[in-house]
Every structure is written in C-alpha cells, then in structure tokens.
Chain A
Amino acid sequence: MPSENEANSDTVQWGGLISAIAQHQDRAAFAALFEHFAPRIKAFMQRSGASEANAEELAQETMLAVWRKAALFDPQSTGAAGWIFTIARNLRIDYHRRESRGGMVEASDVEIEFLIDDSPQPDSILATSQSEDRVRSALTKLSDDQMRVVELSFFEEKAHAEIAEILEIPLGTVKSRLRLAMTRLRNLLGELS
C-alpha cells in the first residue's frame, strides 16, 4: 500500500485524468491511465483465476469501458481507483457468466445489478470528496494480517479454505480474522465520517 500522502495525490491525479477524457476525449490522459491501471487490472483478473490471455483481454476491455464511461465518473462521490475497480469487477462477473453460458451475456446487465437506488447518485452521506481518503486512512489502521484477509476476500473465487492454505492458518482463523477485520474497518469508517 502506498503511504497516505501518496495515495491522496494519486486520487487527485487519476481522477483528473478521467475528467480530462470526459471533457475533451484526452488521449494522452487515457494513455497515462492505461499505463498505470491496465497491468494492475490484469493482475487482478489473473488472481481471480483468469488465464493470462483472458486477463489481458479483460484489462483491455476494462480500460475501454473507462474511456466510454468517463462522463459518468463523479469525483465528488467516488475515488478513481474505486470507480475503475467496479468496472473491472463487473467485467469479471460478465466473463464468468459468458464462460458458463457461451457468449450471450452483456456487461451492461451486470452494471444494473449493482445499481440499488432509482437515482444513479450515491447516498448523500457518502457523497463527499473525502470518501476515498476516508477509506484509505481506515485501511492504514488495519494490521498487516487483517489487511491481507480483507484483500483476499476480493478474490472469493478462491474459497476461504484456499486463503487458509495461503496464509498457513486454520480455516476457522481465516473466518474469525475476516469477521474481526470487517468489524474493525466498519468502526474505523464510522469514526472518520
């Protein structure tokens, strides 16, 4: 994890690039975003079980979606990395469905499954530019072990049993650690809001 200050400057920088794409189809901004995020999205997809070739394709598709959806990015309510994560997540779900159904599923279907409100705006309580910073500073307060289980929970294609194997701890410990980490994270988020 980068230090908090680096993280903050990152937030501004990446968010600004997405806005530049939205405002004037800035290709240089896109190239800079691509260079930073595409290899990380590819790593994310590989960690989720995609082959190297599929992870490469999914990273490209995610970045294409970043370009096309740039106008929907709202820096007041979400961080750049969090926003790109949701796009990657939806494409990962779409990919798994296509794998099991044979190419009939559209990514746009996944998106609406995460839109819970009628309004596309997030709830006002989170609609602050601090939301990403808040989350980042909460994360820095987790212990390394806690952060690792939180991280691994984003790759649940791996069952908890596999997490246990990776961390070389009993399954029950993974579950209780995840529960504790989540409770601590929620408390930290509460304190910071």
Chain B
Amino acid sequence: MSIEHHPTDSMLAAFAAGTLDHGQHIAIATHLVSCPQCRTFTRSMEQVGGAVLTSLLPAAMSNDALAKVEARLNKPMRPATMAETAPTVPEAEVPGLPKFLRRYQFGNWKWIAPSVHLQPIVLPYDSDTRVFLLKSGPGTRMLQHTHTGIEMTCVLSGAFSQDGSHYGPGDFDLGDDTVDHLPVVDPGQDCVCLVAMQGDLRLHGLIGRMVQPFVRV
C-alpha cells in the first residue's frame, strides 16, 4: 500500500536544515524510513543548504585558524558513543522505526484506556516534545479532541480512518490546536503509531488527558 499522507514541504525542509525539535525530528525520520519520495526531497533540501552556505557573506576567520586545524589533522578521532550501543528494540518487535531510535530507552507499556496502551520513549536530549508509541486495539474510537501544541503521528502498523481519509503504515498526520481529530482504528488489527506531542505536560496531566479522549466502540 502506498503512502498518501506526507509531512509538509516546510517540515521536510526544517528536517534537512536541522532546525526541528528533537522529538519532531524523530517523527519526520520515522516517516522518511517508509517514504523514498520525501527522502529524495529532504536530500535535495540538503543541497539547498549547501547553496545557502555558499551564498553567505564570509566572516573573517582568525589569522591562525588554518594552522590550528592543520596541527590537529593527524590526531585520531574520539570514538563514537551512541553508534556503538546495541539496539534495544528489535525490528521484528516494532517495524518501521528509524535505526537510531532503536538504541534509545523505551519505557514500559502503560494502560491508558480500554484497548489503548502507551510506551514512552526516553529522549537523550532536551526536547519540549514527548515521543511515545501508541497502540490501539481494533475498532478503537477516539473522541473528538484538540491539541494545545503540535502533534505529529506516523503509523507503524495497522491503520485508522480519520475525516474520510485512511492512514496506513508510513502515513503521517499533523495535528495542531486548530484541528479536531476523530480517528477510528480499522477492525482486525492493532494500530501502532509513533506520536511526537509538543507541550510541557506532566505525566499525570498527560495520562489524565489521554484517558478522557478514548472510548471503546
């Protein structure tokens, strides 16, 4: 099944520019795993970055800058840290995640509402976005709700329908405070999504807010 719902071009550009919040970077990266078309555009935007870099008015370097760097050319690099860490979440368990994310610490699944569970992902860097996996049972219906901040969702497995559109693996959805959501999970299979939710919510507040919107059909 092909991907029908993509991040906006501006979001992909911000990804390539490296200006996204880390949690949102993860949500876009998750979409890119499944979407060659958006990967291509993102890579083109990196070339645009090169063009922007080239077009900038040069800022004079200090006189000994080149000599300082030349003195370090043959020194060995510091070893990588994260790259050496073994994955904590195998591909078979959760398909569709970016490789780097599999090395992060995943919390325990928590019960949120009947047939709805949430697994927080521990981000190694400060972010005002919370990232978690949300697993909803077949036929689960979310009551209409709005967001206080931006919420990015990428489907990993299963599918849901929302406002007459169908969302399957790789599909991306952006919610903000202007959007009313009314997603309904397809019958027959759990739907697992990666969600990046902006906002400085305490865990208690998050759970409280999450419990309310979910009911089982």
Contacts and interface: CB of A to CB of B under 8 A. Distances in A.
B51 A55 contact: no
A169 interface: no
Contact of A182 (B13, B49, B70, B126): B13
Given A40-B54, A68-B77, A189 B29 contact: no
B17 A89 contact: yes
B80 interface: yes
Contacts of A90: 18
A40 B69 CA distance: 16
Q: Classify the interface of chain A: helix, strand, loop or mixed.
A: helix
Give the interface size bracket for B toward A.
35 or more
Interface string B66-99: 1011101100011011110000000000000011
Nearest to A133: B47
Interface residues of A, number: 81
B8 interface: yes
A154 B52 contact: yes
7 contacts: A40-B54, A60-B65, A106-B82, A113-B100, A125-B36, A150-B13, A156-B20
A157 B19 contact: yes
Interface of A: 1-2, 7, 10, 25, 27, 30-31, 34-35, 37-44, 46-47, 52, 55-56, 59-60, 63-64, 67-68, 78-86, 88-90, 92-93, 97, 100-101, 105-106, 108-109, 112-113, 115-118, 122-123, 125-126, 131-132, 134-136, 138-139, 150-151, 153-157, 178-179, 182-183, 185-186, 189
B55 interface: yes
B36 A31 contact: no
Nearest to B57: A43
B82 A112 contact: yes
B40 A183 contact: no
B109 interface: no
B203 interface: no
Nearest to A150: B48
A182 B50 contact: no
